[in-house]
Structure 1
Amino acid sequence: MTLHHRTPVRPTLLNSLGFAKPPAQTRVVVAMSGGVDSSVVAAKLMAEGYDVVGVTLQLYDHGAALAKKGACCAGQDIQDARRVAERMGFPHYVLDYENRFRESVIEEFADAYLAGATPVPCIRCNERVKFRDLLQTARDLDADCMATGHYIQRKEGPHRAELHMAADPHRDQSYFLFSTTQEQLDFLRFPLGHLASKSETRALAAEYGLAVADKPDSQDICFVPDSNYAAVIEKLRPGAADPGDIVDRDGTVLGQHRGVIHYTIGQRRGLGIGGLGDPLYVVRLDPDLRHVVVGPKEALATTIVPVSEVNWLGDGPFAGEIPVMVRIRSTRPPRPAILRPLDATRAEVELLDPEEGVSPGQACVFYEPESTRVLGGGWITLRRRKSV
C-alpha cells in the first residue's frame, strides 16, 4: 500500500489587530482625545509597526463659556495629541466637528434635562459622532480599522465579533458603548481592554516617553464645567430655571424650588424642606407643572424598567423572556433581571431585586449571565413601580 503524504496546511497568521497581513500594510486610524489612554493606543500601534493615522475632534468652540480648561478635546488636549504624534512619527489631523457635536449631542442634552430626564451625553457622542461620522472618516482614509482608548474588549465569536466588558471592572466602559452596532464593532479595535489596571497604561506611556503619562483623567462631561449641569442648561435655554413647587406624592405643596433642572431622581440634599419628619427624596420630576415630587426612600424602589431605542448585539432581539444581567447606572455593577423584548426597539426589564433612583434618560445595558458579553441595551423611559 502506497502512503501519500500531504503537505500540511499552514494557518493564516493574523497580526495583533486580526488582519492577515503585516502591520506595515495595515492602516489604523486612532481616535485621539489627547488623554493618556488614546495616546498609548496610538504609540503602541506605531511601535508595533502599523500604519497609524491620528485624528482628534474639535467638538466645541474653545473660547466659548461652555469650554473649560483640561476638558476632553479642548485646546490643550489637541496640543497634547499633536505632540504624541510628533514624537512617534505618524500623521495627525484635527477635524472640526463643532456643529455636528452641538446638533447631535449638546442640544439633545439640554432638551432632555428640560423634559425631566437625566441624559448621558457621552453615549450619544460615541453613537452619533465618534462611531458614526469619525468612523466614516476612517473608512474614507482607506483604514482597515479604527482604534480607540476605551476600556472594553472586542472578541471574535463563533459568527461575528462580540463586545465584552474590560478586564479591569473598575475601568470598564461597556455602559457607554452599548449602542455600538455590529457593523461598527466589526471595524473597531480596543487595544487597552485586556489590561488589568490603569497603572499598566501609564507605565506604557512612560515607556514610550509620552508627556501625558501622568496627565489626570477627565472626570466630567467635556462641555459641562465642574459638573454644573444647570449653568450649561441655562446658557443653552435661557429661562429654563423657572421656580416652582416642591410637592409630595399627593400634590401637597411643601416648599419652593429654584428650577426643575437643578434636581435629579434620588436627590435628598439641598431640597430646603427639612423639619418635615422622615427624610424625603426626589422621586419624580414634572417639568410641565414645574413640580419636584418628593417622597420617602421606599418610593424610589423600582423593579419594572421600560427601555426604548434598544440596540441589539449578537443574537437579539430575542423571543419571549430571557435571564440577563443589567446595568442601569455607569457606577453600579450589573444585577440580575428578566429581559422581555417587546419589538425590535423596545423592551421591558424586570429587576429581581428593587433598585433605587432609576432615572429616565439613563441607559440600561444588557449582559449575558455568567459572562462578560454585552448583548445590547437601550434608554430608560418613564416607568411604573411595583410595591416592595
Structure 2
Amino acid sequence: MPVPENNFIASHYTASVENGIFEWSAPSNIALVKYWGKKDKQIPANPSISFTLNNCKTVTRLAFAKKANDGDFSFDLLFEGKPKEDFKPKIQKFLERIFDYCPYLKDFHFTIDTQNTFPHSSGIASSASGMAALAMNIMSLEKTLDPSISEEYFYRKASFLARLGSGSACRSVKGKVVVWGKHDEIERSSDLFGVEFPSVHAHFQNYQDTILLVDKGEKQVSSTVGHDLMFGHPFAEQRFLQAHDNLSAMKRILENGDIDGFVKITESEALTLHAMMMTSMPYFILMKPNTLEIINRIWKFRNQTQIPVCFTLDAGANVHVLYPENVKEKVLQFIQDELVGYCQNGQYICDVIGVGAQSI
C-alpha cells in the first residue's frame, strides 16, 4: 500500500525543548535515469534513480530557540557565516510548504548557517544537498519533540520534506543508490520520497564520478522553468514511458553488474534529457561547445581502450565522468591529458558514491 501524505503530519509531542543546535551534512546526487517534468507539490512526472555522491555536500547547522509567541516563521540565514538575504525567500517558501507537516516550526526562532564543500559558483546544483541538509535538521528537532518516532520514519519524512524544497533533494537523504517515483518493479517506491535501492552489484561499489566544470555561470533557463515546459511538450508522454522502461533496465543492470548496459542507459538518458530541452517550446540548449568536445573525446577514448568510462549530464553544461574504481588511475590520466583543457579554469572535482546525509 502506498504511504499517504497525511502520515507525515506531526500530531503530538511528548517532550518540550527551549533551545538547541543540530548539524547535518547532505550530499549532492547525480541521476542516472532522469526525471524531467513535475506535477503539483513536487510530484515527479516519471521515476528516477541516482548515485548519491560523497564529497560534494552541504553542511548546515540549525540553532533554535523557543519564542514567546508563535506568530509567523522567524529565522536568520547565514551562508558561510555571513548573512545571505537573497536565499531567504526560498527558505521562507520551503517552510510554508512543510508547515502542515511540521506545525512546531512557528514555535521557534531559527538560525540557519549553511556552507558547501564545493564552490557555490561552480555550476553544481546545491539545492538538492542544501534542502536535504535542512530537512535532516528539522527532523532532528521533531525527534526531540517526539522521541517515539522510528528511524525509518525519521529518514522517510526527511526525504518527504526535502522533496518539497527541491525535488531531487529527496534522493540525497539515505542510500548509495536512490529511487524516487512510483515504479512497479521497485518495492516501496513512492512519488513522495526517495527509497534506497536494495542490492547494488560489486561492480558498482565505490563507483567514481569526476565532475568537469565546463561552465560555472548561471543557467539561462532554470530547472523549474525547464520542468514546466514538459507540459504540452510534443514528446512528453513517450519520454515518461521511456523513463519507466529505462529504470526497469537499470534495475537489472545494477543488480547483475552489467557495466556495458550501464554505459548505454546512462549516456542515452543524459542526451534524452537535453533533447527534451531542445524540443520544448520555447526551446533552449544548456550544453556548451566544450560539453560536446568532452563527450566526443570520452567516446573516442572508450572505443580505443575498451575502458568502460561514460558520461552523464545534469540540467547544465558540466559533465559527470563515471567509471569503476579499478580503472581510476587510467581515467584520471585521460582527464588530465585530454579533458582538463575544456574545463573553465581547468577545474574539476573528484567524487565517489556516498551513503547520504550524516549527523555531525
**Global fold match (TM > 0.5):** no
- Which gives a bigger RCO, structure 1 or 2 (Cα 8 Å, sep 6+)? 2
Structure number having the greater helix percentage: 2
**What TM-score, normalized to structure 1?**
0.25
**What TM-score, normalized to structure 2?**
0.27
Bigger Cα Rg: 1
